[in-house]
Amino acid sequence: MIVEDDSATRRLYRFLLTNSGYTVLEAEDGLAALDVLAVQPCDVVITDMNMPRMGGIELVKTLRQRSLDIYVIMVTAFGTPDTEKNAYRAGVNEYLTKPFDFEELERRVQTYFDKRPTARPE
């Protein structure tokens, strides 16, 4: 699932991940992501940090409080050592600062699936 308030970025991530063989869900913020996850489970969430209504940190905290076994990759254009530390404390598994090479994001997603042999991209 891609959780990103910028629709152009969300479409780009969806296009690139779909072309790599992944099934991709989308949400424009954390609240919308929780609505989608209530009816459609997923293995990986790629979330922006700063979004209206519910940002990435709050989303991750909610996922962890609900004990959802979802691998979370946080991306942000406003990365600092403190925001990275806060993201990991909230429960993210990976942290990337924008701009980043899309191949790096794809590599991190694929590494997750490689480590979970029963979970494969659909």
Find the CATH number of the domain harbouring 74: 3.40.50.2300
In a domain, 119, yes or no: no
Provide the domain limits for residue 78.
Answer: 2-114
In a domain, 37, yes or no: yes
pLDDT of residue 118: 62
- pLDDT value at 117 more than 60: no
The DSSP result for 66-115, as a single string, is TT---EEEEEESS--HHHHHHHHHHT-SEEEESS--HHHHHHHHHHHHHH
How many structural domains comprise the chain? 1
**Average pLDDT rounded to a whole number, residues 2-28:** 95
- Look up the pTM and report it: 0.90
- pLDDT value at 120 more than 70: no
Instruction: Tell me the pLDDT band of 46, cut-offs 50, 70 and 90.
Output: very high
Cβ contact 47:56 at 8 Å: yes
